[in-house]
Structure 1
Amino acid sequence: MKTTNKPKKYIIQLKDDSKSSLTKAAKELSLKITSSSELSSKVRAQDVLDSGNGLFLKNLGLAIVEDYEVEKLHHLTNASSNPIIYWEKERKFKPVTELDLLDEMKININNMSEKIAQLKELIEANNRLNINKNLTWGLNAVGIELSNYTGKGIDIAILDTGFYKDHPDFVGRNISGKSFVPGEKWYLDGHGHGTHCTGTAAGSISLVDNKRYGVAHEANIVIGKVLSDSGSGSTSGIIDAIDNSLEKGHNIISMSLGSSVKIGEKPSPIFEQVGRKALEKNTLIIAAAGNDSNRPSLPKPVSSPANAESIMAVAALDEALKVANFSNGGINASNGGRVDISAPGVDIFSSYSKNGSQNKLYTTMSGTSMATPHVAGIAALYWEAFPNLSAEGIWLKLEKRAKQLSNQLYRDIGQGIIQTI
């Protein structure tokens, strides 16, 4: 069978977002570049790119071009008078979920002394948490029972695999969405990962056992499908969705996705600009630190885009409040790839999609993917409590009020475990 390769996309960073720079860039690239301000339900981003034109994301100052000559991009970037200062080939992204946790536990099953020590830590941690059996362990750990806030009126944008809109726990909720994956609906979620993350950030109570699993249960839910039903996505779709969120003025963007980076690799200037532009427009981007580690022997660096300084990176904790063995750490901290904060991320119960691989309404998952929406939901509570604060102000409060954990490295858990208000 004959196969055709998908066109390659390149993300271009301009010196500034002025009209003159855009015009000059279009001339140098010999392309028509359409601004995202011209997009509509009838004119989609992919339609522009499919026609051989470039797309300028006006809120981010970035352009997307498709199937361009790499040699010419090299030449243009090196020209002193050119408005293009940086470009990169788009990355592939995937849900940040620890699927190999069970296998790893089987491998370590003979190490009984370690398991006994972990059980002791778990018992001690549960004693400290003042457990409420009507809450998931994650909600107990972040102190949700002590909060009088619900996230009411705050927009949380979940950029993931979509959402199962027919889930019975979300009847009557304010939910909107848009798909940035051609040919796939945002409201079906054929994967399930996005529905799980949405449930943790902004779900409520399970109709099955009346257990609460969601943080900001009155927040406005905004879904951006940037990962396909098979669990993959790319830079262009993600930044297109972020640009859309900035245009709509969403308070919080939660991204439980990542692309692995190497030790010593610097953060992408593209996502650093994205995060900085978001903060300027009063939007806080929160992203998963990634699951590439095999602790304690082999911690790996924070993934992209969480490794950007202007994006909050979230590590995962287990039920004993220890860094999860898969959770990435600040190995590249000197280059910007640090962990900012941590949250529950092992054996997290939440909503799921009937269209997903498990074909059910609820499931338990592990990963920094599961930690990230805990932080996004709590950020909504803080914004409800402090409506006049900026995105940077909310970030600082989240870090300042985090609970420090003993015998843990800052490199691995940042300021500590997130706490509600």
Structure 2
Amino acid sequence: MFRLICMLLLLQFTITATAQQDAWIYLTDKANVASSLANPISILTQKAIDRKAQFNIVIDERDVPVNESYIADLKTQTGITVMAKSKWFNTVHVRGTEADINALDALTYVDSIDFADKSLNSGSREFHEQDKYDNFEQQVVFNYGNTQNQVQMINVDNLHVDDYTGEGITIAVMDSGFPNVNTMGAFQRLRDNGDLLNGYDFVTRNTDVYANTASSHGTRVLSDMAGFIQDQFVGTAPDASYYLFITEDVSSENPVEESYWVEAAERADSLGVDMINTSLGYRVFDNSNYNYTPADMNGQVTFVSKGASVAVEKGILVVVSAGNSGASSWQTVGSPGDSPDVLSVGAVNADGNYVSFSSQGGPAQVGYQKPDVVARGGAAYVIDQNNNIIQNNGTSFSSPILCGGIASLWQAIPDASHTEVMDYVRQSASQFSTPDDFLGYGIPDLELAKNIALSTNERLRPEFYVYPNPVKDELKIQFPNEVIEAEVEIYNQVGQRIFSGTVSSDYNTVNVSQLSTGIFILVLSFEATSKTYKILKD
């Protein structure tokens, strides 16, 4: 009898261990959200779009399909059968043994697992109704590793926390070479997200932009915007999209490179690029007859500077390295950074102090400030063509660090023009009221730039404007004209409601001084509508 009982218990254990279970696998993110929302016909029929418009129903992230690459990968996992999917909840319904389903938790794109058999959920994060806010407002948490100083210096990390990571912004990078960008690990995230767009080598007239291995400068420049190595390195716009253009011939120095640059800028304009980063400068050439002088650095003389000004006129935000001539007899910002229309970026060290090589404003730049602003270029961290994290000096790197940061800022204020964005960046800088020829307006604070934009330009505000964010003591809620009163609820990251109350256009302040430091979800409900916001408590 005892043996029979043991056998029955063993059989029951075996059946339990191998029994097929159903579960919902909640995913961390979706692909191409910004581009899909900008082009809703790519994800909805015209009839659906018309119906939503008729009833003022917002097309949002829930309408974007589940990432098909995640589904394809789930289908390859041991013992897993994909049964269904839901874009509204960004989840995939799977079937498999308890052990095989729990093994999915190790996948980087899996946020949580909710077994249909709720008794099995003790081993995974318990699912709450409030988790829907996590799915719609997914928190971005990066371990910046080596790049922490250069990211935090311009306060772009706070934009990243709010999911502003450059998504939907397209950047053209004009440089000298991009070897291994198409294969190396630091750009795997970029490739997987479909954000590494095509490019062109204007020097060799070659569509294979990776074939030119004469210089890896472009690879290192790109890394400060788009590079990502888990827990070691995060660029300032890891989710922006990038075109790569080679315009610099490292074998010689000739004005034809200015023409290559302008041709590439024209190509960028035709492709609808939002921003250009160029860590190049033109002053002197192999043939001294072609040389410019510091007096020519007024934005009106060099072909490349005039081309850069036209690019800005066409609607592109152009970010340019100020140059590395600060300690030389040349000294002044070179072209195309001398154009009054571009944002030229000088360099500081990790402590935010001017580094001697950074080019300075010169006497030819009358009536406008150069450099415009600065970012870290002294011993900045970059990734080389061998996927190694190293340190390099130069405004070549302060420019992309800031360019990527501005891409993340622009995602947060998408209705701002390129010139407005540049102005907000300048206004946010550390010495805006007392600029000089070394740091220009100083080190930008991109979170502050966002707040300046939203507080001073009503056109850029969402329906409700929740500020300041990050917040210390009092959170204010600015109402649209048609709304008088709303219910407000605040939830912590595990879905617990920790505050509820009523706010109105007359009494619009919520005291959050008692909240602990961290990220919270705020829900505003009015009539039959609700809005969700992520707030950061300092």
Letter aligned with residue 143 of structure 1: N
Match of 2:436?
Answer: 410
Across the aligned residues of Structure 1 and Structure 2, the Cα RMSD in angstroms comes to 2.6
Determine which of 391, 396, 409 is the counterpart of 1:369: 396
Pairs within 5 Å for 1:265-304: 265=296, 266-269=298-301, 270-294=303-327, 300-304=331-335
Any conservation in 1 of the 2:261–2:304 contact (CA below 8 Å)?
A: no
Any conservation in 1 of the 2:227–2:238 contact (CA below 8 Å)?
A: yes
Relative to structure 2, which stretch is displaced further, 224-233 or 177-186? Answer: 224-233
How many residue pairs match? The answer is: 280
TM-score (norm 1): 0.61
Secondary structure of the 1:310 match is coil
Q: Distance in 1 between matches of 2:337 and 2:177?
A: 20
Match of 1:320?
Answer: 351
Determine which of 241, 245, 259 is the counterpart of 2:264: 241
Q: Please, which runs of 5 or more residues in structure 2 have no aligned partner?
A: 1-142, 284-291, 448-538
Secondary structure of the 1:242 match is helix
Pairs within 5 Å for 1:46-57: none
Q: Deviations over 1:358-407 (max 9, x none)?
A: xx54322110101100121012112101111111111111111122399x
Determine which of 170, 191, 194 is the counterpart of 1:155: 170
Match of 1:211?
Answer: 232
Work out which of the two has the higher radius of gyration on C-alpha atoms and give 1 or 2.
Answer: 2
Q: Please, which runs of 5 or more residues in structure 1 have no aligned partner?
A: 1-130, 355-359
Match of 1:180?
Answer: 202
Instruction: Determine if the alignment matches structure 1 residue 142 to structure 2 residue 154.
Output: yes
Any conservation in 2 of the 1:258–1:288 contact (CA below 8 Å)?
A: yes
Q: Distance in 2 between matches of 1:132 and 1:175?
A: 21
Q: Distance in 2 between matches of 1:183 and 1:245?
A: 16
Q: Deviations over 1:40-60 (max 9, x none)?
A: xxxxxxxxxxxxxxxxxxxxx
Q: Distance in 1 between matches of 2:389 and 2:154?
A: 21
Secondary structure of the 2:318 match is strand
- Per chain length, whose mean CA-contact separation is higher, i.e. which structure has more relative contact order (CA < 8 Å, sep 6+)? 1
Pairs within 5 Å for 1:17-416: 135-147=147-159, 148=162, 149-163=164-178, 164-171=181-188, 172-173=192-193, 174-176=195-197, 177-182=199-204, 185-188=208-211, 190=213, 191-204=215-228, 206-207=229-230, 210-228=231-249, 230=251, 234-260=257-283, 262-265=293-296, 266-269=298-301, 270-294=303-327, 300-332=331-363, 333-334=365-366, 338-354=370-386, 361-404=388-431, 410-416=436-442
Any conservation in 2 of the 1:267–1:337 contact (CA below 8 Å)?
A: no
Letter aligned with residue 311 of structure 2: A
Any conservation in 1 of the 2:145–2:233 contact (CA below 8 Å)?
A: no
Secondary structure of the 2:311 match is helix
Q: Deviations over 1:101-124 (max 9, x none)?
A: xxxxxxxxxxxxxxxxxxxxxxxx
Any conservation in 1 of the 2:226–2:240 contact (CA below 8 Å)?
A: yes
Larger strand percent:
2
Deviation of 1:255 after TM superposition, in Å, equals: 0.4
Deviation of 1:343 after TM superposition, in Å, equals: 0.7
Query: How much identity, in percent, do the aligned residues show?
Result: 24
Deviation of 1:299 after TM superposition, in Å, equals: 7.3
Deviation of 1:169 after TM superposition, in Å, equals: 2.0
Cα distance change on mapping 1:272 and 1:181 into 2, 3 Å? closer
Cα distance change on mapping 1:382 and 1:335 into 2, 3 Å? same
Q: Deviations over 1:57-81 (max 9, x none)?
A: xxxxxxxxxxxxxxxxxxxxxxxxx
Q: Distance in 1 between matches of 2:299 and 2:306?
A: 11
Deviation of 1:166 after TM superposition, in Å, equals: 1.0
TM-score (norm 2): 0.49
Letter aligned with residue 240 of structure 1: E
Deviation of 1:276 after TM superposition, in Å, equals: 3.3
